[in-house]
Structure 1
Amino acid sequence: KITGDFIAYIHAMQRLNLEVAAEFIYMASMLMSIKARMLLPRPEPDDGHADEFDPRTELVQRLLEYKRLKEGASELEQLGIDRSRMFPRGVFEALEPEVIDEMDEPVNRPTLYHLMLAYQSVIDNMPKTRTQSVSDAPVTIEEQSALIMTRLEQRVQVSFTSLFEELREAIVIVVTFLAVLELCRNNKISVIVKEGVNDFWISQRESSD
């Protein structure tokens, strides 16, 4: 069921002409790796007991994480639809006054569609390479979320595209984008987008405590 949902999601994103090749290749490579490990003979342990590790467990764990993030993205999209014409109290509080003054164009809360357009723009601007090595993601969503929050402690706000300026691996860009979605879903950050621009400001939300 979860695998079927993932394939359906890939097809839906392709119909929207959005960049999802990195996610697809990563998942496909994981499936091939698991299949190869299952076909290889396993050495007998010294104690005589068979190795009970099932490589499919890793796939299940990653698919469950994907399902959780997909549900979060769906919630974010619905929130954008419901509140795209609203300006909640405090939405500008985290921005420096001079930054707000420079925003002479109308600004809105971005929907998931805006976020995906910005993500696609980042992917399109990546240096094109002939070959791509397949390996496990070198970073996690939690690590990238912590990195984003650290940057927001150093600066009042950062632009979405600036989060990806030093990134060169497609899978790291994917994980960083998922971290942005996760922080939005958990109300850790606020986002404001200029009308007609595939970029937006990210600022840390004030704690409700």
Structure 2
Amino acid sequence: MTATLPPVEAAASDAAAATGPAVVDGVAVARLYGEPLFALPQDLYIPPDALEVFLEAFEGPLDLLLYLIRRQNFNILDIPLADVTRQYLAYVEQIRKTNLELASEYLLMAAMLIEIKSRMLLPPKKSDDGSEPEDPRAELVRRLIEYEQMKLAAAGLDRLPVHGRDFLRAQVHVEQALAPRFPEVEVDELRAAWAELMKRARLNQHHTITREQLSVREHMSLVLKRLQGRRFLEFEDLFDVRRGPAVLVVTFVAVLELARERLLEVTQAEAFAPIYVRLAYQSA
């Protein structure tokens, strides 16, 4: 229980309660808003509501009842209703003097406690099947246990870290690169370009039969030489359709091998645009 007074009345009442005027700072008997007061005022008036009494804050009748039981280490399964009801009514009497509307909720629980106590004083009624009659406190005990479980769960959730109260998310600003990022070439577009090359190669077939040793590594070197000193080159310009499909296949494999080894890049400005090839280590 805590009592509070306004600054003026608190200083004056403390001085008046003493047997004699207590001297503060060697001269003044009190201080008012930091200023020394050398004599008590004769017309001091304390309004009736200046003294406010703050009781323990409870969230409802069940919370108060659980507090009374746990404070005195009573067994919740065997509640001594006489003692608990007496303390409960004392608290209700305090809040009834200040807040009758709030006290109505607690009076309902008080009536239930008195009703349970009266049922315990009466002889128990025998059940039809001959079993033991139910304890009148059973329903109240069940509600108290459920309320305590929910209260403990809420307290556990409140102890968890909360964003904005216990921690803040780290925010990092990443500046976007100014260089344009071209869309990647899809496999279907690369296959379509290759099919178009093969179609043009069939139109330039020769009947001369020769045996030519083709090397993928050699054509990889040729492709790198073609791209040397160039910013980029169209995909089709890397192939010589006049040399036949065999050379086209080896050249295409060489391009794929160079792309796999990240020695060149295959790009295009947008979807369905011409495909370009450039050296990977060359600036855009």
* Band the TM-score falls in, shorter-chain normalisation: 0.3 to 0.5
- State the TM-score, normalizing by the size of structure 1: 0.43
- State the TM-score, normalizing by the size of structure 2: 0.32
Whichever structure has more helix as a proportion of its residues is: 1
